[in-house]
Chains A and B, each alone.
Chain A
């Protein structure tokens, strides 16, 4: 991200908040702010950054909004003449931070998940529709559609640009955390060679999570989410080899991990676990911290990881938690115990046909020394996965075992 981009995207939610407060009408204001951001991206590199960039953006957005409004119907024109012609820079900029209000609106429960993600990245993240489309590997028209439908739905459903009442805040915040988590995951899992041109979704998710944490410093799960992102993203430089193929955690060159991010994440999750009530993001961050603090794969404190997975299985059970818990149990008690637990876990229909089931079984059979069976299950997992880098990895494991047998 260049200096201009960073500044513009930090200002995007503040400018949008100010414009919506002044004029109302979230949908048109959001379009106007996008145009103002574009104008700044074109003009500032040539003319220099204005003395007060936020005021500049608000003024231009107000003007763009008036232009958009002129394109609308004559009826609205009569209704809104006074508001649209008011000199925008004649009014002081309210000193209110609307970032949290905006995040909550973009992740409103009346919107579908893809719409929440797209709208959040555009309205709060300041990304363009084209950038979002490139990041998610879908056509620009699809993203534009998701955003415009989301705004229509907000308008029709009467969702308002204000903080929800206290009793609604908890579930609404959970939705915001989930959207940021999805954005991070999308960026992290796709950070292999074939996707180098994609917008840095992980960096964007971390930036937004930091903004959220600044607004809600006492929320343990927000802190847990940020720590989880930092501790996971820290491993990214070692996660793929120069050809873009996946490198499993146990084989990663730990010297290439981002130790600054690890230190920040560990400090954050340690402080949070001591004070906040526990939640799934904190537990996942704690597990990531145990991995990141091990100097070598053999130094990993699997007993502690197993305890954390037991807690996670209590707080937020799910098929992937079950599988990861089995791996931890195998590392503590041996592959035979892991394989027995896997046979039990297989009763869950969500896992029976899952490629991760086959991959974990292959890994445990490999540890147990049954290379033939391990090879078979690696190949089964390779056929079932829908991820190209994962498929390469699983096929390579099977091929290595083929050589040994």
Chain B
């Protein structure tokens, strides 16, 4: 089963990250590196990316065939997507275990785990 693990950030968490010392920052990245290595070892990793600052986002819409873009983020949205994992795990429990190792989960910003639709299905 595939699961996407969504990691959010908010202005406070981004400010905290920016205020980290080199050592603290290296420690944080080290946790991610160890997690990635474990997921590669187990064959569960499909892809993982850290996303650029929400200020860099463009919101795209199409009206009457014309493409229009608006700069993000929307001010009213406090938590912004900051990164994600797509993993292939045996169970939801296992995907939750993986998510619990994301440092943000320990900083008061819950990490979201969502199953991905597949084509499989049992005979009924």
Contact of A195 among B1, B116, B119 (CB under 8 A): B119
Choose among A142, A359, A389 the residue that contacts B119 (Cβ–Cβ < 8 A): A389
**Would you call B115 and A386 a contact (CB within 8 A)?**
yes
Q: Would you call A149 and B40 a contact (CB within 8 A)?
A: yes
Chain A interface helix/strand/loop/mixed: helix
Question: Which of B15-23, B43-51, B74-82 contacts the other chain?
Answer: B43-51
Contact flags (1/0) for A190-220 with B, using CB distance below 8 Å? 1010110000000000000000000000000
Partner among B41, B44, B47, B121 whose Cβ is within 8 Å of the Cβ of A385: B121
Q: Give CA–CA (A391, B124) in the complex, Å.
A: 12
Shortest CB-to-CB span from B30 to chain A, Å, is 21
CA–CA, A185 and B2, complex, Å: 16
> In the bound complex, how far is the Cα of B121 from the Cα of A303, in angstroms?
26
Residues of A within 8 A of B40 (CB): 145, 149
A146, A186, A189, A393: the one contacting B43 at CB < 8 Å is: A146
Interface residues of A in 109-134 (CB under 8 A from B): 112-115, 118
Interface centre among A142, A186, A189 (most CB of B within 10 A): A142
A149 and B41 form a contact (CB under 8 A): yes
Per the CB 8 Å criterion, the residue count for chain B at the interface is 22
Q: How far is the CA of A118 from the CA of B43 in the complex (A)?
A: 10
Residues of B within 8 A of A232 (CB): 123
B59 interface hit (Cβ, 8 Å): no
Give A192 to B42 CA distance when docked, in angstroms. 29
Q: Contact: A386 with B44, CB < 8 Å?
A: no
Q: A114-B88, A190-B118, A194-B119 are in contact. Are A246 and B124 (CB under 8 A)?
A: yes
Residue of B nearest to A193 (CB): B119
A139 CB-CB contact with B under 8 Å: yes
Q: A138-B88, A189-B122, A190-B120 are in contact. Are A149 and B43 (CB under 8 A)?
A: yes
| A189 B119 Cβ-Cβ under 8 A | yes
The listed residue (B46, B115, B120) touching A138 by CB distance below 8 A is B46
Q: Is A39 an interface residue (CB 8 A)?
A: no
- Let me know if B53 is at the binding interface, CB within 8 A: no
Instruction: Given A112-B43, A113-B90, A114-B44, answer yes or no on A386-B124 (Cβ-Cβ < 8 Å).
Output: no
CB <8 Å contact, A239 and B123: yes
The reply to whether A249 and B124 contact each other, CB–CB distance below 8 Å, is: yes
Complex CA gap A192/B45 in Å reads: 26
User: Taking A114-B88, A149-B40, A386-B115 as contacts, is the C-beta distance between A142 and B45 under 8 angstroms?
Assistant: yes
Which residues of chain B are near A359, meaning CB under 8 Å?
124
Total number of A residues with any Cβ neighbor in B under 8 Å? 38
B107 at the interface (CB under 8 A from A): no
Tell me the minimal C-beta distance from B17 to chain A in angstroms.
Answer: 29
Q: Number of residue pairs across A and B with beta carbons under 8 Å? A: 79
Within 8 A of A (CB), among B10-69: 40-47
The one of B2, B44, B120 that contacts A186, using a Cβ cutoff of 8 Å: B120
Contact A114 B123 (CB under 8 A): no
One of B1, B43, B116, B120 near A145 (C-beta < 8 A): B43
For A178-193 the 0/1 string (1 means CB < 8 A from B) is: 0000000110011010
Please indicate the chain A residues that have their CB under 8 angstroms from the CB of B2 in the complex. 138
Q: Name the interface residues of B70-124: CB closer than 8 Å to any CB of A.
A: 88, 90, 115-124
CA–CA, A142 and B41, complex, Å: 11
What is the bound-complex CA distance between A118 and B1, given in angstroms?
15
How far apart are the CA atoms of A143 and B118 in the complex, in Å? 18
Interface residue? A395 (CB, 8 A): no
Chain B residues positioned under 8 Å from A320 (CB to CB): 122
Q: Is there contact, CB below 8 Å, between B119 and A192?
A: yes
Residue of B nearest to A359 (CB): B124
In the assembled complex, the Cα of A232 lies from the Cα of B123 at a distance in Å of: 10
Say how far A15's CB is from chain B's closest CB, in angstroms: 26
A248 — which chain B residues lie within 8 A by C-beta?
123-124
Residues of A with C-beta under 8 A to B42: 112, 114
> Can you name 20 A-B residue pairings with CB atoms under 8 Å?
A114-B43, A138-B2, A138-B46, A139-B47, A145-B43, A150-B43, A192-B119, A239-B123, A246-B121, A246-B124, A320-B122, A385-B121, A386-B117, A386-B120, A388-B121, A389-B121, A390-B121, A390-B122, A390-B124, A393-B124
Beyond contacts A114-B44, A190-B119: 7 other A-B pairs, Cβ-Cβ < 8 A, are: A112-B42, A112-B43, A138-B2, A139-B46, A149-B40, A390-B121, A393-B124
A interface with B by C-beta (< 8 Å): 112-115, 118, 137-139, 142, 145-146, 149-150, 185-186, 189-190, 192, 194-195, 232, 235, 239, 246, 248-249, 320, 356, 359, 363, 385-391, 393
